[in-house]
Structure formats: structure tokens, C-alpha cells
Structure 1
Amino acid sequence: MTDAPQEHIAPILTPEGWELLASLGPYREDEAFRLTAALRKAGHSPELVSAVLTQSRLRTKAEAKFGEFARQMVFTKAGLEQATRLTVAARHAQRFVEAGISHVADLGCGLGADAMALASMDLVVTAVEMDETTAACATMNLIPFRNATVVHSDATAVSLEGVDGVWLDPARRTTSTSGTKRIWDPEDFSPPLSFVESLAGSGRAVGVKMGPGMPHDSVPADCEAQWVSVGGDVTEVALWFNAVRRPGVRRAALVLGPLGAAELTSGEDFGGGPAAPVGPVEGYLYEPDGAVIRAGLVADVALQLGGHLVDEHIAYICAPELRETPFAKAYKVLDVMPFNVKALKAWVKDQGIGVLDIKKRGTAVTPEELRKQLLPGGRPAGSKSKGKKSATLVLTRIGEDRVAISVEPV
């Protein structure tokens, strides 16, 4: 992975740079210009000032993934975008611990998030990173762990002698002067998926983090695929081979939310498993978590809820009664209307609606454009609009018919 120029990190890796960075408080965009002028006036070089302010900004942004640990870490922009959240990295590490693995090679370690989690569980860690700048960051981030070593090398060329477990987080973006661009083909990742499969073929315990949009037909046949969502956002699919693959699990959806963790698993291959009935829009409408949808487990959730799909090809569930589930968000069905812009505009006016949230699945309608048509000058849900009634519309397709469902979040 090619990242920011080395000189953007180098000024930080000096006693003066480290001390200056540590002296800064939380980054504030509205204070950046004033702070830049003050640091320059104090005699610090333009390169150092730019470097510490960049790090300060990245540290503040990184708190969402790393919490208070972010205040002591070093980042690059591209590395932070791909870095694993520490809560998820801890679960990766736990797999290797439970499998009895003692020495893990983190190939393509990036900034070292997974390596930190592995090392914190007393595993011996060899963290390998090809990009010089990113390897320097990982070295700084892993300083507290004596059982972790950073190697500046190509992940596909490093010796794995004595290593009984391998973790990989392949680079899925290319970086240029115009920014970062996502790569979609697993064989264009660095290292490619075929390399991961060759490692698994050696019998070692292997885990790899892939993008959550990975197609089912690209998932190797001899692994467990676990999609993970955090706070409603699907962050990854992890593929697990050999000792770190759970017996009888082919695909799984792990949902991490405010109330903790919940997981749904299936031993069936993609396209297999139970079929859910199809029925009318009634009672309560459930919107499955993205990890459930990606893992192909919507029918499993529908059956758990005693419900049915509104269309066999669309991931909306209805059930006559309300049941709690961590795997879907529930809405009370208020009304079902044909999708007709003129009729919906009249409905919005009759109801006195001033704030409108629009969800959709299985239709090409753009919610933002429709909102402008139905509610000129109106606002999406979540906006503050004193005295204005709010509403939620779900747009979907039932067979050949497009419908608009008025719902109320539970």
C-alpha cells in the first residue's frame, strides 16, 4: 500500500516532534489556523507544524475506532480508513487464543490495530508491512508490546518459520495524489485472495479481513465467513480457515451494538438454509441488520420472529406481533399506499408532515429527490423542526407493484 510521503511522518519521530504532538489538546478545525501561526511563531519548522497538526486531526478522528488509545498512536489517512476497530480486533485475536495458537504473523499489518490486539493477549506477533511510512507508524504503535516485532517487508515474501497462525488485512485501496480509490477484485488486493488460500492450504490457522461487499461466489469453499456490523454499519467479512474456523459454521452475522454482541450462524452453504414464507404488509415491519443481509440469513430472522418476507427477493420482514431482536430494526405499520408521487404529495399535505425520513429497498427511487418532490423545503428525519410532524416512509416492491409504507419506528 502506498501512503503519505515519509517526510509527513518523519518529523513526528523525533524528540521535539513527539513532545510537541503530546502537548496539543483535542484537534479543533476552527482553531487550526490560529494554532499553526502560534507554533510557527514559537520557532517550529513548517514541516513539523504541518506534521503534528495532521497527526492531531487523525488522532481525533481515530477515537471512534481506538478510543483513548488513539491519543498515543500514529496514523496515516489511508491506514486509518482501513484500520480495524479495537473492539473487533479483540474478537479476531480471541479466535487465535481459543485455537491454541502461540505465534501469529500479521501480514499487511497496516497501523497495527490487529497486531496490538493479538499482542495484548500474550501471543507472539510478527507484524509485516510493505509500506515504509505505515511500517514506521506500526512500530510506534506497538512499542508497548515486547512480544510484537514489526518487519518492513513484502507480506508474500517473509519467512513463516515457527509461525502457527496468520492474520491478513489486504490493502483494498490504492492511494494517489488525488486521494484513495477502492479496489473490488480480490485478486487485485495486496496480498491477493489466492495467496491467502495458499497459506490456508499449508494447514496453518488463517484469518483474513475482507470488504463486506464481497460476493458470495468469491468466498472460498473451505472457510467460515463472518460478517460483522458495529452500531448498524457493516465493517467487514472475516474468512476463517482450519483451526480458527468453528465446526459446523459456514456463514455468520455478528452484530455489535449498545447492548453487546449477538450472533446468528448457519452451517448451510450460500443459497441453502430455510425458506421464509411470503405474506402481506401487516403489523410490524422489520429491517434486517446489514450483516444479516450480507450473510444471507434474512429468512432465518424472519422465522425467529414468526414473520414472513413481503417479497421473496427483498430483505423486508413483516410479522403480526412485535418481538425484540438484535438482528433487525422494528417499525409499526401505519398505512400501505401505492407508489404515486402525486398521491403521496397529497398525503404529506393532509397529514401536516414537515419532517420526512425515506427508506428504500428494491426500487430505483432516490430518497433525497423524492423528499424534494413531496416536501419542498422539508427536512429529513433527525432534523429539528419545531411544531412539525415527522413521518417515515418505506419504499419497496411487492411483486411487480411499487408501494409506499408509512411506518413508525419502535
Structure 2
Amino acid sequence: MDAAELDALFTPEALRLLDALPPLHSTGDVARAVSQLRAAGHSPELVSAVVGQARLRVRAWAKFGDFADRMLFTRAGLEQATRLPIAARHAGRMRDAGIGSVADLGCGIGGDALGFAGIGLRVHAVDADPVTAALAAYNLAPFGADVTVVNGLAEDAPLDDVDAVWLDPARRTAGHTETARVQASDYTPGLDWCFALAKVMPVGIKLGPAFDRALIPDDVEAQWISADGSTIECVLWSGRLAREGVRRAALVTRGQEAWELTAPADADDEPVRTLGAFVHEPAGAVIRARLIGEVARTLDAGVLAPGIAYLTGDAEATSPFAASFRVRETLPADVRSLGAALRARSIGTLEIKKRGVDVDPAVLRTKLKLRGDESATLILTRVGGKRIALLCDRV
């Protein structure tokens, strides 16, 4: 989206047309909407802006729910925005720490600021991109004077009147559609500036889940977050936003439920075990936080193979921090024999999981030529340098 498209969108006519459109779920829905709007005499520029936003609102439902129906987006801004339930958890931590006002530096389209403002915090939001800042101002307008949004650099934002700072450094190239990841040394604002600020006031820094752990300062709490099966971010908390004695945390959410594992440091791993009756796959946040050993001890399990994040044991135990699978049997690992074995067991629906092996599950599924009414999970991994295939059922 450029400034001209933004101007076309920020008119009463365009906003009325947008709100009147039904959800556009398919390319057919989009084509019909374009045809109807053009037939009604609207300009191509206006139609493009309105239909584009309607399509983004449908995609935004996964992150923002009902709120998506009154928000505006860029494609890149939506992709990079924090899910609203997670933003609400960040806001809750701020409130619990006695924070009343926060500067959201690098606010994007306003996802985190929605969470902060939604529980009554005063928010000063800043974004370096003028189009993105304008969209954030629109999205946050219902909160009135409690939220201000400006176009500017994070480094220039006044911080005297806020209790804490939320930082979301730009980790991709600039743009509203196609963007590319940049190295940590090229984040904006720079990490040195972010970490220096975190030493003098309470700060939360949102980073990618694969952020280099060697760069994490020793005096912050690092919290990795998995939501509905996807590991989405790592947040570094400083000052009173960091919990006493906690340096590693894994937050796992599914729907409205949440569980958290905390520790003062990386957990020691449990020893390697031979394959037992169950295989457990820790959540991505647990793996990133290096708290696999903590989960293994609750499951009376050990590591299936060195360097492979699968656990195994014989105890009928489960954990919210891991997916558990009951092992049926070990099958041949070569594709032809494996496919024959699965068809002989009438398995037509197969979930394929893998670690430590170079396999594309979609390609493999085609090669297996599955047939039958049964379902199962196939776990592909390496043990002792040998590739193995485990036929399992989810517990």
C-alpha cells in the first residue's frame, strides 16, 4: 500500500463500502466483489483498496477475531502483528508489574497496542513507516485520548512520561507486501540500543523464536511462546517486568488455555533411552527455551537420540508441554516397504512428523500411495545414525 492507496481508503465512501462488503473467502468472492463495485461506477483505485482490505480482514480473523472487522492492514503488517490473545498476555504482565503507561516503539498496525489499551494502559505508539502509523492510528482510534500514535523513529520517542517500553525491532526489510529477513545486526532500532534501554527501565523486546541465544543478555528473562502448535516469538523482559529468579520460560497456549514452564537457567537433559511404549514431542517453546529436561522428568522419559528433540518412555503420562504418541510398532524406513506396510494396515490418513531426517512430508505422502479407512501418526527420525519409522497413535 502506498500513500495514494491510503488516501483512497481513508474516505467516508471507501470505508462505508468496505464495511458493507461480505467476507471474501475465495478468489470467486473477490472477483464478484470487484465486478459489482466496478459496475456501480467506482474507480479501479478505490475498488482495489476496498477489496484488498476486505480480503485482509478475512485473514486477520485468525489473529484478531471480531476486532478484524473494523481494522485496516497491510499484508506485511498483518503477517508480523502479534496475535491479540498473546498481546493481551503481554499487557497482563505489564499491569501485574504495576505499569500504567507504555511506549510501543515499532507498533506496526497496532496489535500489541490493542492489548495494552484494552486493559486500560495509556499507550504512546510509534512507527517509522508513515502508512503503517496511519493504519495504527485508525485501528487504535476507539481508545481515544488514552492512545497516541505518531510517525517517527523509536530512538527519538520521548520516554519521560511512560512507565515501560515495548519494543518490536524491525526484523525484515521495509515494505508493505513482500519483505525479507535481515540479520540481527541490521534490526531497527539496533539491538545495542534496545539492550541499553532495557538496563535503565522496564522493557519488553519482541524477537523471533529462532533469535540467537548467544545474543541474549544475562540480566533479562527470555520467554518463548507457542500458540496453537506454532512457536511464534521470543520476548526478553527487563526490570520489574522480569520475574525474580526466572531466566528461561516457555509459554504454551491452545485456544484460551495456557501453561508456562519457568526456570532459572537452561535445564539439564535426561539421559538417552531406548525406545519405549511412548514418544513425546516437546512444544517448540520448550525446545527453544531448552527446558526439555524439565518436561522429560515429569513424563518419566529420556531423550530418544542425542540432539533429537523427541523423548521416550513407558509411563502413561501426558503433559501440556508435549504431544504424546503411543508406539504401535517400528516399520521399514525405505519408501516402498513403508508404503506397503501402511496399505496392509489400511491406513489412508497419516500424520507425518519428522526430526533429524531430510524428508518433505507432502512429497512422502504422495509416494506412499496410502489406501484405507484407518488413521495413524508416522514419526521419522534417526537413532544411532540409522533412520527409523515409528507407527504411532496420538494420546
Query: For the residues of structure 1 that align with 2:388 and 2:350, how far apart are their CA atoms?
Result: 17
The aligned residue for residue 239 of structure 1 is 236
Inter-CA distance 258–80: structure 2 relative to 1 (3 Å threshold): closer
The aligned residue for residue 272 of structure 2 is 278
The aligned residue for residue 217 of structure 1 is 214
Q: CA deviation at 1:41?
A: 2.2
Inter-CA distance 177–137: structure 2 relative to 1 (3 Å threshold): closer
The aligned residue for residue 301 of structure 2 is 307
1:39-85 Cα offsets, whole Å, 9 max, x none, are 12222221111111111111111011000011011111110000011
Q: Which amino acid aligns with 1:351?
A: R
Query: For the residues of structure 2 that align with 1:120 and 1:156, how far apart are their CA atoms?
Result: 26
Query: For the residues of structure 1 that align with 2:150 and 2:177, how far apart are their CA atoms?
Result: 29
The aligned residue for residue 332 of structure 1 is 326
Q: Of 110, 125, 135, which residue of structure 1 is paired with 2:133?
A: 135
Query: For the residues of structure 1 that align with 2:21 and 2:177, how far apart are their CA atoms?
Result: 29
Question: 1:47-196, aligned counterparts within 5 Å?
Answer: 47-145=45-143, 146-175=145-174, 179-183=178-182, 185-196=183-194
> SS at the partner of 1:25?
coil
Q: Is 1:407 equivalent to 2:392 in the alignment?
A: yes
Q: Which amino acid aligns with 2:338?
A: L
Q: CA deviation at 1:176?
A: 5.3
Q: Which amino acid aligns with 1:72?
A: R
Q: Is the 8 A contact 2:74 2:177 kept in 1?
A: no
Q: CA deviation at 1:234?
A: 0.8
Query: For the residues of structure 1 that align with 2:66 and 2:360, how far apart are their CA atoms?
Result: 39
The aligned residue for residue 223 of structure 2 is 226
Q: Is the 8 A contact 1:282 1:319 kept in 2?
A: yes
Q: CA deviation at 1:342?
A: 4.5
Please, which runs of 5 or more residues in structure 2 have no aligned partner? Answer: none
Query: For the residues of structure 1 that align with 2:69 and 2:106, how far apart are their CA atoms?
Result: 23
Q: Of 371, 377, 380, which residue of structure 2 is paired with 1:392?
A: 377
Q: Is the 8 A contact 1:338 1:402 kept in 2?
A: no
The aligned residue for residue 286 of structure 2 is 292
Query: For the residues of structure 2 that align with 1:342 and 1:59, how far apart are their CA atoms?
Result: 45
How many residues were matched structurally? 393
Query: For the residues of structure 1 that align with 2:101 and 2:24, how far apart are their CA atoms?
Result: 38
Query: For the residues of structure 1 that align with 2:335 and 2:111, how far apart are their CA atoms?
Result: 48
Q: Given the two structures, how large is their TM-score scaled by the length of structure 2?
A: 0.94
Inter-CA distance 11–101: structure 2 relative to 1 (3 Å threshold): same
> SS at the partner of 2:142?
coil
The aligned residue for residue 248 of structure 1 is 245
Q: Is the 8 A contact 1:103 1:163 kept in 2?
A: yes
Q: Of 338, 359, 363, which residue of structure 2 is paired with 1:344?
A: 338
Inter-CA distance 66–176: structure 2 relative to 1 (3 Å threshold): closer
Question: 1:255-270, aligned counterparts within 5 Å?
Answer: 255-258=252-255, 260-268=257-265, 270=266
Percent sequence identity over matched residues?
A: 46
The aligned residue for residue 347 of structure 2 is 353
> SS at the partner of 1:339?
coil
> SS at the partner of 2:210?
coil
Q: Which amino acid aligns with 1:222?
A: D
Query: For the residues of structure 1 that align with 2:25 and 2:351, how far apart are their CA atoms?
Result: 31
> SS at the partner of 1:47?
helix
Please, which runs of 5 or more residues in structure 1 have no aligned partner? Answer: 379-384
Q: Given the two structures, how large is their TM-score scaled by the length of structure 1?
A: 0.91
The aligned residue for residue 381 of structure 1 is none
Query: For the residues of structure 1 that align with 2:119 and 2:338, how far apart are their CA atoms?
Result: 56
> SS at the partner of 2:166?
strand
